[in-house]
């Protein structure tokens, strides 16, 4: 029964992902992330019998996912009315709009976005020199120790927040340049983003490059066959290795320490160990199992706190007079580590686990919310201006990846702030 349900949850996930792929919806990134981080690993774990939780817990996880996926698919079909939106068909649009790409307005927008990327990198380099004495002395912990809340109205925290936001908002220019056949400019922006990720060790900042590469692949391969499945599987492995590799890189400390201690065999061993033992991104599903096994019996669980925070997103928690609940990811972290005095450690149990933690088994109904959300995002991203559209696709692709891993509020916040910035930039350019 457990094995059958594990395959069923994987099957429903694949059906939804294929549906979104065929509809050319940007939400395919959400479902690809869920398949990569839960669907396939969960199925393999159950099939091999290598889980550390009660078999009933594994069965419940499969059942929750099956019902969630089914509810999403039904709601998605109803909201879309059976019509394909073709949001991801930007290649045909680029062929039809070469003059648009050369227009003064588009060139000004492209220039602004390029400046944003290199300004973000410049800010981090300046901070590295002023606060740490140079790039080799930078580390993730050192940057994290600096003030980083934009609501503190501290110049340091504001500049750090601005640099992250500008990079994520403008990162899609990599895709814009590539489809415009401006390969040198695309690679230059790509290298700037990679440099930023290396300096900060923030895995999220590398997403614009990864999402752009995937979008280019999808645009060339509209049909799914064995060749495409194998190619996507290899691409997925490379992405997981890159993301967990950045985490291992973070553990070395400063750049100087990494340079002195680096050994490729040891580095590779540590990355694969993180992937195979569930310590990395593929292990986030274990948090979902933990919540299921304890029947959500933790403080602040089952109160839809993530979604209340989403509703009150424009209102800073610090100045909400208690109306906006604190970050629920920290509450989940407290429950997972068993320390309810915790105020720092947060966890992300994939979107499935977050929905369960927020509303228990009623979290299945949140699938309807995400179906409407996907429909809305497709509408927002489908622009006639190719520059704006391509950058928005990357922004929302990154957002969906972050949401899929269970960082729902952070993903939505990043997506909405970036989108607002892009629409304002597009509106004000002469």
Range of the domain at 153: 98-276
CA 219 to CA 203: how far, in whole Å? 25
Residue 278 confidence (pLDDT) above 70: no
84 or 127: which leads in pLDDT = 127
Q: Write out the two tokens for 130.
A: 């002023």
Q: For the segment 242-253, what is each residue's pLDDT rounded down to a tens digit? A: 888 888 888 888
40-49, 196-205, 213-222, 270-279: range with lowest mean pLDDT = 270-279
pLDDT given for residue 95 in this prediction: 52
Residue 73 lies in a domain: no
Residue 128 lies in a domain: yes
Confidence of residue 49 (pLDDT cuts 50, 70, 90): confident
Residue 13 lies in a domain: no
pLDDT given for residue 28 in this prediction: 93
If phi > 0 it is left, if psi is from -120 to 50 it is alpha, else beta; for residue 124 that is alpha
Burial class (CB in 10 A: 0-12, 13-18, 19+), 100: middle
Contact 284, 274 (CB under 8 A): no
pLDDT given for residue 419 in this prediction: 94
Query: What SS3 state is found at 430?
Result: coil
Contact 363, 349 (CB under 8 A): no
Residue 392 lies in a domain: no
Name the CA dihedral angle for 129, 165, 157, 112, rounded to a multiple of 10 degrees. Answer: 60
Contact 271, 245 (CB under 8 A): yes
- The predicted model scores a pTM of 0.93
Into how many domains does the chain fold? Answer: 1
Residue 209: partners with Cβ closer than 8 Å, 6 or more residues away:
171, 174, 190, 193, 194
């Amino acid at each position: 029964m457990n094995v059958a349900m594990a395959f069923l949850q994987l099957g429903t996930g694949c059906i939804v992902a294929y549906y979104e792929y065929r509809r050319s919806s940007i939400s395919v990134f959400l479902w690809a992330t869920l398949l990569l981080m839960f669907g396939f690993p969960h199925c393999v774990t159950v099939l091999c019998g290598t889980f550390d939780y009660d078999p009933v817990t594994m069965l419940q996880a499969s059942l929750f996912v099956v019902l969630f996926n089914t509810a999403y698919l039904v709601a998605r079909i109803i909201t879309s009315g059976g019509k394909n939106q073709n949001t991801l068909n930007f290649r045909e649009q680029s062929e039809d709009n070469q003059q648009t790409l050369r227009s003064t307005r588009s060139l000004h927008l492209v220039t602004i976005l390029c400046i944003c990327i290199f300004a973000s990198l410049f800010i981090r380099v300046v901070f590295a020199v002023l606060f740490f004495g140079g790039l080799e002395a930078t580390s993730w912990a050192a940057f994290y120790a600096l003030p980083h809340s934009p609501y503190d109205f501290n110049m340091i925290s504001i500049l750090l927040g601005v640099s992250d936001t500008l990079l994520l908002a403008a990162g899609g220019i990599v895709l814009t340049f590539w489809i415009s056949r401006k390969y040198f400019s695309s690679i230059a922006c790509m290298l700037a983003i990679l440099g930023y990720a290396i300096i900060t060790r923030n895995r999220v900042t590398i997403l614009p490059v990864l999402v752009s590469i995937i979008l280019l692949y999808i645009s060339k391969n509209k049909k799914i066959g064995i060749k495409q499945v194998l190619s996507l599987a290899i691409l997925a492995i490379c992405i997981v290795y890159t993301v967990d590799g950045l985490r291992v890189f973070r553990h070395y400390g400063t750049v100087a320490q990494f340079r002195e201690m680096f050994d490729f065999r040891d580095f590779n061993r540590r990355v694969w160990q993180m992937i195979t033992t569930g310590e990395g991104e593929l292990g986030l599903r274990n948090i979902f199992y933990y919540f299921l096994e304890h029947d959500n019996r933790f403080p602040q669980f089952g109160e839809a706190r993530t979604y209340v925070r989403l509703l009150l997103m424009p209102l800073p928690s610090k100045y909400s007079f208690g109306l906006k609940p604190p970050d629920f990811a920290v509450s989940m972290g407290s429950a997972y580590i068993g320390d309810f005095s915790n105020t720092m450690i947060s966890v992300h149990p994939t979107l499935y686990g977050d929905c369960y933690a927020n509303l228990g088994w009623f979290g299945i109904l949140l699938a309807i919310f995400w179906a409407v959300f996907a429909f809305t995002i497709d509408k927002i991203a489908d622009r006639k201006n190719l520059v704006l559209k391509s950058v928005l696709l990357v922004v929302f692709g990154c957002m969906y990846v972050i949401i899929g891993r269970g960082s729902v509020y952070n993903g939505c916040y990043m997506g909405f702030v970036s989108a607002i910035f892009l629409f304002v930039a597009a509106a004000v350019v002469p």
